[in-house]
Amino acid sequence: MQTVDNQSADVPQLRQEVCNIPKQYEDLKEKLEDQKRKLEKLLLNADSFETEIREIELWINEASQNTSAQEPISANPTVVLKRLEQIEVKI
């Protein structure tokens, strides 16, 4: 077993380090709580983002189906104007 020399030059430094442990613990605990709040906020934002992505995917699928059902565009100006009128009526 090793004995401790209270007169050693290391003792005051060790005592100071031991006294600092509760403060360091509280600082670490506070930093962890801050990180936890940030992560929770990021998680909420990620959920919102994922919901918006799903809505966009549905819109893209619907738009794709609508455009695939349309007739090809004609080079004839009269046909193009007639088609434009039909589309405007639907809107």
Q: What pLDDT is stored for residue 10 in this prediction? A: 84
- Phi and psi at residue 53, to the nearest 5°: -60, -45
Q: What pLDDT is stored for residue 4 in this prediction? A: 58
Q: What pLDDT is stored for residue 69 in this prediction? A: 75
pLDDT mean by block of 10 residues, the chain; 91 residues:
66 90 96 98 95 96 84 81 79 56
Q: What pLDDT is stored for residue 11 in this prediction? A: 85
Whole-prediction pTM: 0.49
Q: Domain residues of the chain, as ranges?
A: 10-90
Q: What pLDDT is stored for residue 6 in this prediction? A: 65
